[in-house]
């Protein structure tokens, strides 16, 4: 049974979270049923925030999970994988998400700008990870696709 768990898998990412500087959820996407209920997710998010918001490190092991994280002004970004997941893969996802948002928000990665551009955030996350599988780690590609998608939506709304 143990050997099955350690087999390589494309399902690298268990969750992507963005919390504000009070530890409240701004964005959360869970890709498996590690935390099936909203109550369990909120408890996990509080725990993760309390363990990481005062540290300078970029990685933590928490509740049997590998957590990589980064903060910017009043935001905390988290990418979560299993305990045996490669931290560099998770860090690539974190950096891609952060750098994509940085481009899309013109380097203004803070709560108000993010809340005004939630649609772009959703599109960016979907470009980077699908169902826990990493699709893209190049922030230029992600930002370009999100902008293309936005242009398409504007075009179709004008044609209606």
pLDDT in the model for residue 3: 47
Residue 160 forms part of a structural domain: no
Residue 137 forms part of a structural domain: yes
CATH number (domain holding residue 19): 3.30.450.60
Residue 112 forms part of a structural domain: yes
Residue 14 forms part of a structural domain: yes
Range of the domain at 101: 10-155
| Residues near 117 by beta carbon (within 8 Å), at least 6 away in sequence | 104, 105
Tell me the C-alpha distance between 106 and 27, whole Å.
20
pTM of the full structure: 0.90
**pLDDT tens track of the chain, all 160 residues?**
444 556 667 889 999 999 999 999 999 999 999 999 999 999 999 999 999 988 878 999 999 999 999 999 999 999 999 988 899 999 999 999 999 999 999 998 999 999 999 999 999 999 999 999 999 999 999 999 998 988 888 888 888 7
Residue 2 forms part of a structural domain: no
Q: How many domains does the chain fold into?
A: 1
């Amino acid at each position: 049974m143990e050997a099955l768990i350690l087999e390589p898998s494309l399902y690298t990412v268990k969750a992507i979270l963005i919390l504000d500087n009070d530890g409240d959820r701004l964005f959360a996407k869970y890709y498996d049923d590690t935390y099936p209920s909203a109550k369990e997710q909120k408890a996990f998010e509080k725990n993760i925030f309390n363990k990481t918001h005062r540290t300078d490190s970029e990685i933590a092991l928490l509740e049997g999970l590998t957590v990589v994280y980064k903060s910017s002004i009043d935001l905390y970004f988290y990418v979560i994988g299993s305990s045996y997941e490669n931290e560099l893969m998770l860090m690539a996802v974190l950096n891609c998400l952060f750098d994509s948002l940085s481009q899309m928000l013109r380097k203004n990665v803070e709560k108000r700008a993010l809340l005004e551009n939630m649609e772009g955030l959703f599109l960016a996350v979907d470009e980077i990870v699908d169902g826990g599988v990493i699709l893209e780690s190049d922030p230029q590609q992600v930002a370009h696709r999100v902008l293309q998608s936005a242009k398409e939506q504007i075009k179709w709304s004008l044609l209606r």
